[in-house]
Structure 1
């Protein structure tokens, strides 16, 4: 039999180094373990009365390190009144398959996931980044693979669309339309319900945002089961909860999230006429509107999760909150707007599909945090202070950009998982104004949940669960519960270095496995917690020889091993663009020496060995990302129209123009005088060709290419009118002949040599108004030719036949 402290060993026997798991995941390792054993452990934890029996401890080795996960049921993610609705019915649902915990002995780590059918799925946050574990059938259709789960690191996620237009959001035109609608609230009351509620606030701080999450039938169709859908929801909420709880919004701390209600639309709801999300082809704006048309007054925020491929790569959309002046964002109540509809604008939507492929959980988690950031009142980061990754200062640039930045970030910089001061300022203003109307009290430290929290010395559970001889259980009086018993040094609930006899383990007791950059952890005999492991030598190669160990963590660049600094190869004149996706190093404080590891300049360090960036890494000074072919693809988050709009309507532009005019008034005066002179000269030149009714002015001069009415040719033509009349032509036709001659007098036919001029003259005057070559008309043409052109005609008939094809 297996006792309650049995370890479930997961051996990564099959290390798959496949080129890619799917379109976005470039490297993974397979996990194979006894799912029946894990399932039995989970069932035992569900039924257990003992706190220790409710614990799951999973151990496995992957990606060059050992994992020891210590997890318990996550009771804080769902509210006490949690409701689950499926197919129009409310169900009593057991969320015991949702677990949260940490890596055993590694402070600051976080693990969260679910156990469904004996498989663990979730994420593991470590000091080296975040790892993701998912079932293999979600990616591979081959059922004969020798593993059932995959694990991959966030650095192996190649997602070029991560911060596309609007950071996964819609483009600026959509936001402008939404902004105008938010300002169109119909005036129905002069009272401010937020302020009224604020006066009634108690002294207990309200810092928990309760969520209503819906999923449409397409989301259910992809994940297939109710448990898998709820696991995805809990994973998303836990991910953003960790980000927001770690942020100080100008004195407002510990902002957390809790799921109050879930509605799952199954595939059968696709035919339900009452289901607003039943149609397959719904645009992103309409999808958000359908969510907003429901009444969500009972919730802080209401989101819909779907599996739709929206246009332009949009992954999420949400109403942006504001402290005053417009509706939308957290705590917004159902109101009547100018279009005659009542809507709740405390809403947003998330999709897990993009460009015909399903995005990794990492991308979806970031999208959720990003969109909730909009609900909390934060626009995209802008300005030098909030986009340090664009700074010319090397120190600022190395820190990277923040969560609400609109373009690609590397994910390993200091700022990548934080809110900028711009976002903090905007969010704090909205929280100060609105949280009192819908936020609830956060869960205070709970004695009896098995977790040692601030204010507790130990926590062994309630009286029917506690088997710890060192700690008072939760049923004791307030001054004793969750405290060490007299003369007891420690409690096993405090850490792995405390024995069941309430004493510290010896100095030679192992409490943590060895990793790439740290030796195994050993108890120090003076603490219940496992001390920090002794780090391996700095600059030890790790992470596939692309990084080095620094102070026990694989966090340094390979450049630092040789006393260099990491840099980003940027595209310049003469710069080889193939190097944009290489790992580049430079001499300290000398950016001009930035070169690829395979360059001649750094040959003495790297022997011309090229080290490439991971697919999806930012390149060319954060202006693009590296694709799988190591080609730097430029990314424009705003687009040309947005850039043009900003350039034209930028207030700074007009301020600069005004300053220049004041400083260079003399140049403006000269330009004005020059413009006046140019216009006067133009009028003077053109006026001689303009007819006037003033009899005192000389007649207008003909423009080049026009025939003057006083031309000798036209005088001879007018004198020849009697010749036309002699051969039976009416005056109207003679007049028409003269008009044709005037319009064509300076054509190419008239300007050629003498022989051709004679033919052209005759043809233009005669043949353009008739195709009849009667004797009388032939003689008329001959007469006119002799009269007008002053040249003997020998081949007039031939010329007439040649030009007969020309139409007037």
Structure 2
């Protein structure tokens, strides 16, 4: 159908749009001419004073090249000092401003945002106030947000003043129309027994949660945001500079809000539809959102890499001020949102932060046991102008990461992408820096980075990153991102960088689950898997008759999508692509938002389905996932059972990978263990050109250990083993040899003893080989002293000669 969503969820649970039920003021102008205080129930007027090291003086316009500023501002009768530093990292160097100048999209011009001038957007804190946050623009006076504890203030120049007067007010004092959500309250539609199964959450306070540094939040994530402004909003002023400045301020405020959950917002592009809108913005919010994400995938992404894009509209949708898909931040087809502009940029920033939060997996705080440091937090379903997140939002974001979402958020901006000159202390590694741990106080316990120079300490190789540990690169072949299922692939450290390789997975369309399913967006899509996610490990897909019977109804519990006229009945051939039907269900779904559950008995089977009540024009997680095999050779896509060729799978693993691997999402071979990339034809250690090395050829520890083992240890072990087996024989041989040696010794000792005895009696004994030995006893006793030595004979004595020695 025209305007319908082209693609839907590729994840099991979290990929669904959520409505921000906010009331918005009528939008007449980017800079309304009416009295700016008419919608404030309370405010005060103050004159900020810029501080220097030596004196306090009246503040004028900020010097264009000053990177650090301090101001004294009166807040409710008390003077507070705020410290600011230029936000150098929320706009990259290659930021592009796009303008469509031909009606048929034949030409797009890109214009640099700034040319040689330092921008005037700052962030900071309130001196002496814990958990404070400041995000200000100093382009023409001070304009922005201040948070002190649970109180949120806005400051802006007083338009009628010539003496640098400013208005300061609490965000809660900004009067708005009464909230009236267009989506019925989920709690009122749930059955009581469904509520009994609702998950109970127990949270610490948000700040305590953040201080605890759980496994997910300590690693900084970077959202590369692209903003698009529609023609109607541009036509309000027809001033591109004014629109541009508003959007840059918006990005600065967003970055300040998301700092509390360790997420940085980097504005990578802005497109102003100054000639005509590139999509049809008529119809419901869901239809416009669907058209926008389709345009983003086909047109915007090929031109500019980014993580998510948000459309800023002038026209409203009744009391709905925004809409976005949930947990789709890295999806090519669903990462986006739409936002209806509000004349108060500070208030509007809270709306966009809310919608962006949905992209990041955050659900509404309402009807959940959330802790919020203020009266309301950003993800409250109603417009509050809040600037901080609740504990539930942090939990939701962590859940998305643990469910393999948000992999693109680990891309750290490179020095070449930086917009402005290096700035030590902004927690981003700028040109000329090796690390950046933040302020000196934040760096006190950092063992790797010098806070004053943003250089690595002596002996350190790195200071951050998943491939950095204790200031050293992890060895090559260390797994830095393990595979999560058969359609996912692991990535490895390369031994020379702190950054893990880019996330890749098996190419879409590759068979999985014993050739009964297809890989799609890194997951093996199947009915059973989705049922287990919704209803627990014992749940499985219901019979086809359940899908056919329920989805032919065309109501909220059984349909193939919706249009402006209501829910669509599924044709028989598409019935497997409508509402998911499960059986063998033992527990109710457990989510932050509780769905309604329906049980339909059909032919002795209880068919279970769910409806999350997110609106008639948007899908929910109870729908069958895109990429699920609906019949042989076909998959579900846009609620239709279509040929699987739509995935454009073109990998012949036998030809391309020699039957020893699979193709990844970059269409390169990922080889099985024992084979080497790029074509898996030669022996090796597996992996691909994208995964990082699976074997560390520079690490000789294993090789040296093996050499020592086989050349030294192994021979000794063999000798010992031989000796143990032949021990009895060796003992006998040793004993025989010892006995023989003893016998010989005794035999040699006996003649010597006899000779000694003869000598003692005065007899000399000689032997001959031919003559017997004669012994002559002396006729006289032996002398008291020994005889003189016998002179050496001049010639040999005959062997038969007998010698008589007489005294």
Per the normalisation by structure 1, the TM-score is 0.38
Pick the structure with more helix per residue: 1
Per the normalisation by structure 2, the TM-score is 0.38
